[in-house]
Amino acid sequence: MENPIVRPRGRAPRWAAGIVILVTCLASSQGCGSSDSGADGGVASGDVDAAACPMAALLEQNCQSCHAAKPVAGAPMPLVTWNDLMAPSHSDPARHVYEMVKVRTNATDKFMPPTGHLTEQQLGVIDAWMNAGEPNCGFASGAKKPGGTVTGTADDSDGGVSENEVIKPEACYEIHAHGEQTPGDSTPFTVAPSQFYHAFNFKVPYDKDVKGLIFKSLIDNSAVVHHWLLYQVNGTPDADGTHKNTGGMHTNDTLLFGWAPGGAPPSMPPGVGFQMPKPGSTLQLEIHYYNTTGMAQPDRTGMSFCVTSKPTKYTAATTTLGSELILLLPAKTGTATGTCNPGFKNGKDKRDIHILYSSPHMHKTGVRMTTIINRVGGEKETLIDKPFAFLEQHDYPTPVIIHPGDTLTTTCTFDNMSSGIVTYGPSTTQEMCYNFVVAYPADLLANPGGSLQGADNTCLQ
């Protein structure tokens, strides 16, 4: 296993001393220049010139139509609260969101907002706010958290620290595809010109219980990588550093995270840590290779994850919704539908379930995915209803609470224009209907049994 990567956090603003306790807030017209002591985190508004305070108004006017408290139109994060700006960037966790705001608004290509460049005066607002030390002025107190509502009740808690505490990662690690059958090898893996699944085994690199905070995909050779999935091996593991071809099946293993073109593993909002394997466990990075170049290709695709050993208020995990009962007739549009009846730990734990993110996954004939919440009282509520494209498999913030008695029905729509029947399977010429959702408390949503894929954290038909 490679050594931990200690990631710098960029220029430290004046509030960054040790672990910072934050109170998240919604943008409003709160005035600046008050005698606020700065107890909410950040530089007190009375400590800075009022010229530094129009930042919240600028974001509201120019960014929040997409980067709202519940982001829309594919926006990866909100830009509403001071905490939103202080969070690690999705594209570069070594930097804060506010740093990337400046980068994107000053870019000449792929700039933000996409409707047109900000004026020099507007760019000056960002500069003045950053030059003043990123003060928490112009933002009002509220209860929203990045990536969804994380308010909960005492019964939702896992007994950790305050839900408002933003915890910095203690260490970050990378795992990669590699050529040799030894731990720590950094030689490229040779990808034959064909389609296959290959699994790389790694002993977890930490020696104490941790929670995951930040996850990132590290694609090396995009010409040959179709997708990857990260599993916790629950049976007898292969040795650290070894790797082999697989059929894409994972009997009783636990799916942690994945990546497909257009997507990104979601990082955790304040107050939430992702459930990680215990020390001594084995991680398996399974890569679906799809090499159509006609020649062997080198690849070191991998992923990184940043962790903390500090308790978090909530613990999240992934659960797979959807259906594996797929039968698509030639030259026809068809559907597959599965209903999840949440397990609530076999009926023994009746806490509410908070869903944070949804990640639809299908193959080449998939065109749309819908997941509907069937409330116990008879009402219907949409969790997600999105078009699907094979090369644009997005991860969506979908904050919602599932109560005991609620169920979730996922429907995948396929357009099979081939001359053959298409059924469930791991190949891109076959199909899948999976909605990978991240939710807390961990494991309450899963109701496994009978999955063809084999993972133990499913809630399918």
246 is written with which tokens? 């697989």
CATH pick for 167-312 out of 2.40.50.100, 2.60.120.310, 3.40.140.10, 2.60.120.680:
2.60.120.310
Tens digits of per-residue pLDDT, 257-288? 899 888 888 888 888 999 999 999 999 999 99
Parallel, antiparallel or unpaired: strands 327-328 and 422-423: antiparallel
Segment 372-415, tens digit of pLDDT = 999 999 999 999 999 999 888 888 989 999 999 999 999 999 99
Q: Please tell me the least confidently modeled range out of 286-295, 363-372, 421-430.
A: 421-430
Query: Are 167-312 and 316-461 the same fold in CATH?
Result: yes
User: Which of 125-134, 168-177, 189-198, 337-346 comes out lowest in average pLDDT?
Assistant: 125-134
pLDDT at 125 over 50: yes
Fold of 316-461: Jelly Rolls (2.60.120)
Q: What is the pLDDT of residues 82-98, one digit of tens each?
A: 888 888 887 776 678 88
Q: What is the pLDDT of residue 130?
A: 86
Q: What is the pLDDT of residue 49?
A: 59
How far from chain centre, in Å, is Cα 51? 36
pLDDT of residue 361: 93
| pLDDT of 48 | 52
Q: Which tokens belong to 134?
A: 């990123």
Higher pLDDT, 38 or 321: 321
Percent of the chain at pLDDT > 90 equals 52
Mean pLDDT, range 12-22, rounded to an integer = 28
The residue ranges of DSSP E strands in 237-346, in sequence order, are: 243-246, 254-259, 272-275, 282-290, 297-299, 302-308, 314-323, 327-328, 332-340
What one-character-per-residue DSSP string does 169-212 give?
PSEEEEEE--SSSSTT--SPEEE-SSEEEEEEEEE-S-SS--EE
N-terminal to C-terminal alpha carbon distance within the chain:
38
Neighbour tally for 102: CB within 10 Å: 14
| Per-residue pLDDT reduced to its tens digit, 313-369 | 999 999 999 999 999 999 999 999 999 999 987 777 889 999 999 999 999 999 999
Mean pLDDT, range 35-61, rounded to an integer: 59
Round the average pLDDT of the chain to a whole number and report it. 82
E strand or H helix that includes residue 434: strand 433-440
**What confidence tier does 162 reach under pLDDT thresholds 50, 70, 90?**
low
pTM comes to 0.67
pLDDT single digits (tens) 222-258: 999 999 999 999 988 999 999 999 887 788 889 998 9
Domain ranges of the chain: 25-146, 167-312, 316-461
Q: How confident is the model at residue 295 (pLDDT cuts 50, 70, 90)?
A: very high
| pLDDT tier at 138, thresholds 50, 70, 90 | confident
383-416 burial: b if 16+ Cβ within 10 Å, else e: bbebebebeebbbbbbbbbbeeebebbbbbbbeb
Helix 55-62 to helix 120-131 angle, to the nearest 10 degrees? 140
